[in-house]
Amino acid sequence: MNKFTKLVAAEDFSENVWTKKDYIVLLLIPLILFVGFITQYFSVKNQLSVIIDTSLRIIMFIFLMVVYAPMLRRHWSKFKLAWKRSVLLVIVGGVLLQIIVSLVRSLIPRVSTSLKTDVPSLIDPLTASPEMFMLLIYIALGPIVTGLIEDTVFRYTLLGKIFQGSFFKKACIIILNSILFGLIHYYNFGSVIGTIPFMFAGLFLNIIYLWTKNIWHVLLIHTVNNAVLTIGALLIIVILRLLGLKA
């Protein structure tokens, strides 16, 4: 353990103690999958349904933050002890995460499915009114808070709390965790092959968490990545509109 990881480490993975709140938190994953199922198979594509979908995800996120508040405070206090290097790791990690996803995606075959995975835009960001644009930003919070829920459950609950045993057992835990993390994105693509890039993303985030032993690094890495892809694109459009230019 180097100086950096010694400062930020908030777990030692020596105890496998599950409480009621851990089992309750696990229910958030099937709830997210259920929301994806409803959106995918019933083709719910109106503004109200998207607002409800985003609101439910935000409520689940708030619930998770309340349940795990003591753990999050403890990890944050460690994160701050080396905040400059932690911020640098978050920035570099966010870039690497996108590179990994893009690279793996470029290497796997494209598979056509019968599922309609491309939901048409309900609001045109180029012509939307200020009110509608704020609604777009609110909707963009959905993927961000979903990523935070996934990271907390998969890294803290389903990895750190069971990361014990022989080297082989630990390796199996890491790999199975990564595969499951990818598979929960099935409804984003409608195929198992489409989830492979996210399996590698899960593996990368697992390694970061096991190295730092601090949940905040992976939470912020995933947040930076998702925010750039969602809200970041909207902010570029805002700037172009303010300058009187078209995207």
Looking up tokens 């958030």 gives 28
pLDDT digit string, tens, across residues 65-101: 999 999 999 999 999 999 999 999 999 999 999 999 9
Tell me if 218 sits within 8 A of 90, measured CB to CB. Answer: no
The answer to whether residue 9 sits within a structural domain is no
Q: Nearest CA to 104 among 202, 14, 216, 231? A: 202
The answer to whether residue 49 sits within a structural domain is yes
**Residue length of the chain:** 247
The answer to whether residue 4 sits within a structural domain is no
Domain that holds residue 219: 17-242
The total of structural domains in the chain comes to 1
pLDDT digit string, tens, across residues 12-46: 887 778 899 999 999 999 998 887 677 666 555 56
Tell me if 54 sits within 8 A of 142, measured CB to CB. Answer: yes
**Residue 122, pLDDT score:** 56
- Please tell me the distance from the alpha carbon of residue 65 to that of residue 169, in angstroms, as a whole number: 30
The answer to whether residue 2 sits within a structural domain is no
The answer to whether residue 6 sits within a structural domain is no
DSSP annotation of 119: P
The mean pLDDT value for 196-204 works out to 97
The answer to whether residue 163 sits within a structural domain is yes
The answer to whether residue 177 sits within a structural domain is yes
Cα 107-108-111 angle, rounded to 5 deg:
145
The answer to whether residue 100 sits within a structural domain is yes
Structure-token pair, residue 151 = 């990271």
Task: Write the burial class of residue 54 (CB in 10 Å: 0-12 exposed, 13-18 middle, 19+ buried).
Answer: buried
pLDDT digit string, tens, across residues 165-197: 899 999 999 999 999 999 998 877 778 999 999
pLDDT digit string, tens, across residues 103-137: 999 999 886 554 443 344 556 666 667 777 788 88
